[in-house]
């Protein structure tokens, strides 16, 4: 496991360099969801694949940028699912982006996740790793220095509602509005990593990416985005559920690129989600 975290650190430093140096043009390819890939997406994917492929304990890797998982060592134990550069469309406006990693055993189902991590490329590079607890590190010179353990309070102040408002279901609109009526403040950049990082670091709040009437299963992918963050929120003392009130970590992976409606927050806000979605 330590060697996987070390590979994530090495990848993070190389990706940061690529963000600073790579031209922001499109590659001649689309990812498996049909989205056009930036050269930077392709470059970040290649960097992570290169670093993870050196590790004998990894059996399979699966990238958000590739249609299928790749077996790298038949006798390996771990499966790593990753989104190399989440929110990459924000790079050209110089907003923060991130890389997300889920470390699984046996299969990519939520229950088999045993650790997860993400990197935020912002004004500084930070790494958050969740094993038994959730720890935050900052890149200084060439090393990731421990900053703090992340623990959520029972109730936060931030509201990060994703997806196109025009397509929200009425009960979702009511949920979002009720939090604003309680004094919650809007914090949404369009990058899952910085948006969830803000909620984690400020002690709580709600990030929602619901099913909508044009995309009932939402947008965010289970294996690469949703399960890793669900694990982090639970370990930090929060909760992560779908629109049926089921823990995200109880969901199966299904198709490797399957999505799900998802809600991440502290206990109070997740209770609110349950309340507003109860009769949906
Ligand atoms: P992409 O990597 O294609 O830019 O998508 C980013 C993801 C996620 O990071 C973010 O939370 C969400 O898409 C934002 O989607 P909306 O703009 O639909 O809210």
Could you state, in order of their start, the residue ranges of all structural domains in the chain?
2-149, 158-277
- Tell me the CATH number of domain 158-277, given options 3.40.190.80, 3.40.710.10, 3.10.129.10, 3.30.930.10: 3.40.190.80
Q: What are the tens digits of pLDDT across the range 213-238? A: 999 999 999 999 999 999 999 999 99
pLDDT at 27 over 70: no
Phi, psi (degrees; rounded to nearest 5) at 229 = -75, -30
- Tell me the CATH number of domain 2-149, given options 3.90.226.10, 3.30.1330.60, 3.30.540.10, 3.40.50.300: 3.30.540.10
Token code pair at residue 176: 């979002």
CB 45 within 8 A of CB 65: yes
Q: How far apart are CA 118 and CA 127, in angstroms?
A: 6
Lining residues, ligand 1, CB within 6 Å: 35, 86-89, 162-163, 190-192, 219
Ligand 1 atom index nearest CA of 219:
13
pLDDT value of residue 1: 83
pLDDT value of residue 280: 79
Q: Which of 86, 193, 199 to mutate to test the pocket of ligand 1 (most atoms within 8 A of CB)?
A: 86
Q: What is each CA distance from 37 to 40, 84, 86, 222, in whole angstroms?
A: 8, 12, 11, 20
Q: What are the tens digits of pLDDT across the range 193-203? A: 999 999 999 98
Ligand 1 atom index nearest CA of 86:
2
pLDDT value of residue 26: 60
Q: Which range has the worst mean pLDDT, 5-19, 35-49, 116-130, 191-205?
A: 35-49
Share of the chain above pLDDT 90, in %: 89
Q: How far apart are CA 21 and CA 99, in angstroms?
A: 17
Ligand 1 centroid – CA 240 distance (Å) = 18
pLDDT value of residue 88: 87
Q: Can you tell me the mean pLDDT for 22-26?
A: 64
Q: Can you tell me the mean pLDDT for 136-164?
A: 97
Mean pLDDT (the chain) is: 94
Q: Which of 24, 30, 44, 191 to mutate to test the pocket of ligand 1 (most atoms within 8 A of CB)?
A: 191
Ligand 1 centroid – CA 87 distance (Å) = 6
| Band of pLDDT at residue 94, cut at 50, 70 and 90 | very high
Q: Can you tell me the mean pLDDT for 101-115?
A: 98
Q: Can you tell me the mean pLDDT for 132-144?
A: 97
């Amino acid at each position: 496991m330590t060697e996987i975290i070390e590979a994530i650190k090495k990848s993070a430093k190389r990706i940061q360099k690529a963000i600073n140096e790579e031209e922001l043009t499109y590659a001649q390819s689309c990812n498996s969801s049909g989205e056009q890939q930036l050269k930077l997406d392709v470059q970040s994917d290649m960097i992570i694949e290169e670093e993870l492929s050196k590790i004998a304990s990894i059996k399979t890797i699966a990238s958000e940028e590739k249609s299928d998982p790749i077996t790298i060592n038949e006798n390996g134990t771990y499966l790593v699912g990753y989104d190399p550069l989440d929110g990459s469309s924000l790079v050209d406006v110089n907003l923060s982006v991130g890389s997300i990693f889920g470390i699984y055993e046996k299969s990519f189902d939520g229950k088999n996740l045993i650790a997860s991590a993400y990197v935020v490329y912002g004004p500084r590079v930070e790494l958050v790793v969740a094993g038994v607890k959730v720890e935050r590190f900052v890149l200084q010179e060439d090393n990731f220095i421990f900053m703090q353990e992340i623990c959520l309070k029972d109730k936060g102040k931030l509201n990060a509602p994703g997806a196109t408002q025009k397509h929200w279901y009425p009960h979702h609109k009511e949920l979002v509005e009720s939090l604003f009526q309680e004094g919650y403040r809007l914090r949404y950049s369009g990058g899952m990593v910085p948006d969830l990082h803000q909620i984690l670091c400020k002690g709580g709040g709600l990030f929602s990416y619901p099913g909508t009437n044009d995309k009932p299963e939402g947008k965010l992918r289970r294996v690469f985005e949703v399960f890793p963050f669900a694990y982090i929120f639970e370990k930090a003392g929060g909760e992560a559920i779908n629109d049926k009130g089921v823990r995200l970590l109880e969901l199966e992976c299904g198709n490797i690129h399957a999505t799900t409606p998802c809600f991440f927050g502290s206990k109070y806000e997740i209770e609110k989600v349950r309340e507003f979605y109860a009769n949906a």
